Structure 1
């Protein structure tokens, strides 16, 4: 386990300090006033107090003590302590002494300008789970964080230059980069949707990259520094077992958010998101229906209306051999145009009563029935387009004989009643 140091002797060699040999050096040479942030002062005072009382001061002990003092959240929580401890593990005695000297020689900390970098107490840990400060950046620049003779983990702010270097010099045995995946990651980083989730970038004992090339390429492409867990010191053979697990679907994510019938909600929401953002007409499928984060946010703001649409999709499924999620998306879209008219349109679609030749609703019912028995299925967005085109023709009281949409045409928009 990572520690903040506990022994009174020092390692004179230029090697990483063993657990328990840093606290005496730091606490005897520095004071709380040497640190530029309140978070670091609180951590320093806690470590110093535990050390002077002869008590354990590893990561868990420091976290418990901070929590008992009511300061754990103020310093950035366990995530920030993990990063501090992970960075300190690879610091040698020489580097630590240099670091202490530089901190001592630095000007006294000035009060924080409220217009500058937000104080750690005021920053949302959900939006910024890993905070960068001058002292911690100084620690993370020493040594090579990717090299370890034994398995280890640490949290590092990966810069575009670091990512480019690892890709150019360490990426010796990986599959070809998937351009679309990288483009998707870059878009998430540029939008600010990328989240620190603990997924590791992995290196073997020689510092060769085993896993994470797409994320590193996205850091280079976006130009954005991102915090990542580095799992280092792994046997090279471990690469053979990576990326073998089942990918978590958007439906799985919504289920974890407590959403009932999450698979159908996810499929319907992806279509609705694509409709709202005008991406369903794209010939390329990449990001046509949104990322996991985008869909979860979309559903959170529209759960009630999506649930109502899903009920209409289930009702139609009892009458016609259709896909519930596509029908639900269609109902949600036309209900956004005009909810009362949507109900009037949906009633005859359910039971087929009173429909005459040329009726857009009858043509839609026939199209949906034929599709169920077709040997080659149409794309989901083509079926959704048929619902919307039928709706538009019905609003105009215009007879039709065919419902077709091709992807070289603009995707249809649901009209409002005149």
Structure 2
């Protein structure tokens, strides 16, 4: 295939620049059009910078002229994130972008977390992505809300977590899909519960735990497995409503902890004011 290598006269010039917070403030002072900022996106990017998860990509900032004098056409969120993080990052700066290009900037479809995992060859990608995301939230903000801008997780972080524990996540998704057929909760909620409990207690044989939940055979009153299968859907104004993901995981952990500890439980619930219960630990002797 022949490709014309001749550049159009209006082609912008890319330049790799380490943008400092001070430089970001200067560039923002030369903004052509002030788009309404999504401060949740700014917080998300700033958090990525602080966590040292920022990655250099082809996406950067665009000016209608040279770096020293050009006016900003694109990149407000990245620049505000640099300021908020207080850390310099490497960014591609495109100098000389025509102002006529402004209306078409950032009109492409964002890559989703599911898209990021598509290269793994795994099945059930939406459940896998959601499971990984909520395991990360469990480990980093167990007692905070798992929804909203504060609970966003970078796609790179999702993929890194998968690569570190791919086998465990694969098993968790399979178990979550099966357990959810017999209890009140979603596939993701049960997958997350299974992951964090078996990670904390790898020495516990879970076969009887799973058998009890899925078959219900020979379970006596007070058995935490029976209690978990009897948790009803919450109802609000006559309509069924699932527990939030955080509530689902908490109730699963409560049942697991009681079962591992040999405790009797007839009813399981979780109040919004409660802190997330932590899975009991039982490690292999090393």
TM-score, length basis structure 1: 0.57
Question: Which protein is richer in helix relative to its size?
Answer: 1
Q: 1:319 to 1:231 in 2, by over 3 A?
A: same
Bigger CA radius of gyration: 1
Are residues 1:355 and 2:244 paired? no
Paired with 1:244 and 1:377, the residues of 2 have a C-alpha distance of: 35
Q: 1:409 to 1:233 in 2, by over 3 A?
A: same
Match of 1:193 in 2: 53
Match of 1:137 in 2: none
Question: 1:222: Cα distance to partner?
Answer: 2.8
Paired with 1:234 and 1:405, the residues of 2 have a C-alpha distance of: 54
Are residues 1:383 and 2:248 paired? yes
Are residues 1:265 and 2:128 paired? yes
Question: 1:301: Cα distance to partner?
Answer: 0.9
Match of 2:269 in 1: 403
Question: 1:322: Cα distance to partner?
Answer: 4.3
Q: 1:377 to 1:320 in 2, by over 3 A?
A: closer
Is 2:127–2:188's contact at 8 Å kept on the other side of the alignment? yes
Are residues 1:281 and 2:143 paired? yes
Paired with 1:310 and 1:382, the residues of 2 have a C-alpha distance of: 18
User: 2:206 aligns to what SS in structure 1?
Assistant: helix
Deviations 1:147-204 (A, max 9, x none): xx83313123123322110112x22423233333222222222222110011131234
Paired with 1:311 and 1:295, the residues of 2 have a C-alpha distance of: 18
User: 2:63 aligns to what SS in structure 1?
Assistant: strand
Is 1:151–1:232's contact at 8 Å kept on the other side of the alignment? no
Q: 1:230 to 1:258 in 2, by over 3 A?
A: farther
Q: 1:283 to 1:271 in 2, by over 3 A?
A: closer
Question: 1:319: Cα distance to partner?
Answer: 4.2
TM-score, length basis structure 2: 0.81
Q: 1:154 to 1:320 in 2, by over 3 A?
A: same
Match of 1:254 in 2: 117
User: 1:234 aligns to what SS in structure 2?
Assistant: coil
Match of 1:244 in 2: 107
Match of 1:392 in 2: 257
Higher relative contact order (CA 8 A, sep 6+): 2
User: 2:93 aligns to what SS in structure 1?
Assistant: strand
Structure 1 residue runs without a partner (length 5+): 1-59, 61-148
Question: 1:220: Cα distance to partner?
Answer: 2.2
User: 1:180 aligns to what SS in structure 2?
Assistant: helix
Question: 1:374: Cα distance to partner?
Answer: 5.1
For these two proteins, the number of residue pairs brought into alignment is 267
Is 2:37–2:77's contact at 8 Å kept on the other side of the alignment? yes
Task: Compute the RMSD of aligned alpha carbons.
Answer: 2.8
Question: 1:257: Cα distance to partner?
Answer: 4.0
